[in-house]
């Protein structure tokens, strides 16, 4: 979680320096969601897919920060060779299937990954993350229907950070209790405190049990919050500073973890050490991302098609 926080802070700085371009969606505030869920999955077996706010999920899945940061800076060493950018990153090796820029697309695609798990009978489960805003897309419900109809092994995770760009859940959703959004498809839903990593982890374990026993999909609504703007160019006129400050003061997921660790007997020094290691790791990633070269010009024409015709 601290790695995600520091990584995202650094990405914000690099953006300010003009080293990262385009859209860049930071995960700060939501770290407990990806970490709590990813920690319950079996790497190499379960598959994960999300939207454009994807750095945190990748870090939580153990993907090298260097190649993620290098993708953000558009370098040839980036995980997508600099051709995807912040929103379009993938690691087939880790069964991380992106990184999708079209709001809601990852839900149907995730159902497809779940379909493949079931077809191959490989015991894997797909986790498809999407936002509160995405939960109003039609294809989400098309996917809910098929997933339940065919009992696909998939966990739908709504990361309800309460805003879709500048539109709050209440201004966009007739049913604002998003965990209920699967009801008419008979998909059970659980509302979870997404700022508490252990609550997230516990709910995920329950969800996995449900799905792995062949009962079909389940929906987790993670109540969370993003501290930063929607992307780097966010006027932040739709919510007050006080609202953000209050979340930071009262519900910060990292402070929460610290409290858990202290309670478990982990010393201040040990925590500091973790902090320092992470700072070093992140600054190395930034150096790597700044210093590695841009993609070769010939890369423009590669990877359009796999085969030659």
| Contact residues for ligand TPP, defined by CB under 6 A | 53, 101-103, 131-134, 159, 161, 163-165, 230
Asked whether position 214 contacts other proteins by CB under 8 A, the answer is no
Which option in ligand TPP, Mg ion, other proteins, none does residue 168 bind, with CB closer than 5 to 8 A by kind? none
Please give the structure tokens belonging to residue 39: 């920690």
Distance CA 59, CA 35 (A): 9
Asked whether position 139 contacts other proteins by CB under 8 A, the answer is yes
Sorted by sequence, the CB contacts under 8 Å of residue 283 that are 6+ apart come out as: 10
Asked whether position 109 contacts other proteins by CB under 8 A, the answer is yes
Which option in ligand TPP, other proteins, Mg ion, none does residue 138 bind, with CB closer than 5 to 8 A by kind? other proteins
CB of 80 vs other proteins, minimal distance in Å:
4
Distance CA 126, CA 96 (A): 10
With CA atoms as reference, report the closest residue to 72 among 285, 302, 254, 214.
285
CB of 130 vs ligand TPP, minimal distance in Å:
6
Closer to Mg ion by Cβ: residue 73 or 161: 161
With CA atoms as reference, report the closest residue to 61 among 3, 110, 102, 132.
3
Q: Which one among 6, 81, 223, 230 touches other proteins, defined by CB under 8 A?
A: 81
Which option in Mg ion, other proteins, ligand TPP, none does residue 103 bind, with CB closer than 5 to 8 A by kind? ligand TPP
Angle at alpha carbon of residue 276, lines to 202 and 37, rounded to 5°:
15
Asked whether position 309 contacts other proteins by CB under 8 A, the answer is yes
3-state secondary structure of 154: strand
């Amino acid at each position: 979680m601290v790695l995600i926080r520091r990584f995202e802070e650094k990405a914000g700085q690099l953006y300010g320096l003009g080293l990262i371009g385009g859209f860049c969606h930071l995960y700060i505030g939501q770290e407990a969601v990806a970490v709590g869920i990813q920690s319950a999955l079996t790497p190499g077996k379960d598959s994960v897919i999300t939207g454009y706010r994807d750095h945190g999920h990748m870090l939580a899945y153990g993907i090298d920060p260097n190649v993620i940061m290098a993708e953000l800076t558009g370098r040839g060493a980036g995980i997508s060779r600099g051709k995807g950018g912040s929103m379009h990153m993938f690691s087939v090796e880790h069964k991380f299937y992106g990184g999708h820029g079209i709001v809601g697309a990852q839900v149907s695609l995730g159902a497809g990954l779940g379909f493949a798990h079931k077809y191959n009978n490989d015991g894997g489960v797909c986790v498809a993350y999407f936002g509160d805003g995405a939960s109003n897309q039609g294809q989400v419900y098309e996917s809910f229907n098929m997933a339940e109809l065919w009992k696909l092994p998939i966990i739908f995770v709504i990361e309800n950070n309460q805003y879709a760009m500048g539109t709050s859940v209440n201004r966009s959703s007739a049913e604002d209790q998003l965990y209920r959004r699967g009801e008419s498809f008979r998909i059970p839903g659980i509302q979870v405190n997404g700022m508490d990593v252990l609550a997230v982890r516990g709910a995920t374990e329950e969800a996995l049990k449900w799905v792995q026993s062949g009962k079909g999909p389940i929906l987790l609504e993670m109540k969370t919050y993003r501290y930063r703007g929607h992307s780097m160019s966010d006027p932040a006129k739709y919510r007050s500073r006080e609202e953000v400050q209050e979340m930071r003061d009262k519900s910060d997921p990292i402070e929460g973890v610290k409290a858990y660790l202290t309670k478990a007997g982990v010393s201040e020094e040990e925590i500091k050490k973790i902090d320092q290691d992470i700072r070093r790791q992140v600054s190395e990633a930034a150096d790597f991302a700044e210093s590695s070269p841009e993609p070769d010009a010939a890369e423009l024409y590669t990877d359009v098609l796999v085969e030659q015709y």
